[in-house]
Structure 1
Amino acid sequence: MEVVQSFLAGEGGAKLLARRLAVPEEKIRTWVSHYRLHGIDGLRPKRSTYSAQFKLQVLTHQDREQLFSRQVAAIYGIRNPNQVVIWRRNIDQGRLQALKSEKEERPKMKPKRRCAAPANIVATDAAQALREENDRLRAEVAYLKKCRP
């Protein structure tokens, strides 16, 4: 925050502040961009995973508006502008699959079976149990009908 405030107060440009504070010049430019667009929240740490659709949206916006990676990263709240460069490189090299996040690529786990018995045996046993219960209930209803006055 101090670096951003110094820059905005005109105490020096990114190069001068970078030398004075031993901070990379690109970092200062990134921090200032994030602060200008998102305020103090733009400087807070953020961990995110991005969907392939989001990545394509960012790259399309960058192409349409002819923006630098740092600029488009600031607009979309991406803390590391190099991430946009990596996405661009992947898509330029025809690796569209590389845009998918690890979570999207992860295969779904198959549910475990609860019993070791084959399904047709279980179904047959259940059907037999239902038939027996049905017969018992019919007999009970018939008996109650006969008992009525």
Structure 2
Amino acid sequence: MRKYETDFKLKVVQSFLAGEGGAKLLARRWSIPEEKVRTWVNHYRLHGIEGLRPKRSAYSAQFKLQVLAHQDREQLSSRQVAALYDIRNPNQIVVWRRNLDQGRLQARASGEQEQLKIKPERRSAAPPSTIVADTQKTLREENDRLRAEVAYLKKLQALIRSKRSAAPTKRV
């Protein structure tokens, strides 16, 4: 993956903000992916020049769960939530979501504090027995029940419509 200097990122962002073109046009002009332009602009708007500087971070599982919960609550894209939390790689959110969905994001009790961590993939054969996994299961069951309810109501409405259209009408 190619690394870009902060000065270069700033030039691209300033071009965008000055109205010299949209993300697509600037991406072509500077020979960079369009997604990079959008990401840099979002980070710059929310965090200023610091949002464009290199950043190395290790995120706790608690932080990851907080980010994913915010994304769900506000119905945000990975790029939007990454910009809000100053996470430089929006694809990292997708990885966290996949880990959560597959039960690899888990909570473990350690003494009095609850410590959250991601289990390695090779251990994923063991069934997760955590609060997060239980909550996921409950939510999935509720989701399935609601889908069935919606499908039932759609069938009922279709049946009522078909009976109304098939009923003979009196003509005077």
TM range (shorter): 0.5 to 0.7
Which residue of structure 1 aligns with residue 94 of structure 2?
A: 85
* TM-score of the aligned structures, taking structure 2 as reference length: 0.56
* 1:57-83 residue CA offsets vs partner (Å, 9 max, x unmatched): 000000000000011001001111111
Checking the alignment, whether the CA contact within 8 Å between 2:105 and 2:118 is kept in structure 1 is no
1 or 2 for the larger relative contact order (CA 8 Å, sep ≥6)? 1
1:75 maps to which residue? 84
Aligned 8 A contact 1:52 1:100 in 2: yes
Structure 1 residues 9 and 3, CA, compared in 2 at 3 Å: closer, same or farther?
A: same
Distance of 1:14 and 1:8 partners within structure 2: 10
Match of 1:15, as an amino acid? K
Matching residue's letter, 1:12: G
- Report the CA distance between 1:35 and its aligned residue: 0.2
Which structure dedicates a bigger proportion of its chain to helix? 1
Which ranges in structure 2 are unaligned for 5 or more consecutive residues?
Answer: 1-9, 107-115, 120-172
Q: CA RMSD in A?
A: 1.8
Q: 2:117 aligns with which of 79, 100, 114?
A: 100
Task: State the distance in 2 between where 1:80 and 1:100 align.
Answer: 20
Equivalent pair of 1:35/1:41 in contact (CA under 8 Å): yes
Q: TM-score with structure 1 length normalisation?
A: 0.65
Q: What percentage of aligned pairs have identical amino acids? A: 82
1:65 aligns with 2:64: no
Q: Which structure's CA Rg is the greater one?
A: 1
Q: Given that residues 104 and 118 in structure 2 are in contact (C-alpha distance below 8 angstroms), is that contact kept between their aligned partners in structure 1?
A: no
Runs of 4+ in structure 1 over 4 Å off? none
**Local SS of the residue matching 2:43:** helix
Compare the two structures and name the one with the higher strand fraction. Answer: 2
Task: Choose the corresponding residue for 2:58, options 49, 64, 71.
Answer: 49
How many correspondences in the alignment? 102
Take 1:59 and 1:66, find their aligned partners in 2: how far apart are those partners?
A: 10
Q: 1:89 to 1:101 in 2, by over 3 A?
A: closer
Distance 1:91 1:10 in 2: 40
Match of 1:134 in 2: none
* Cα offset, 1:101, TM superposition: 5.8
Q: CA deviation at 1:94?
A: 2.0
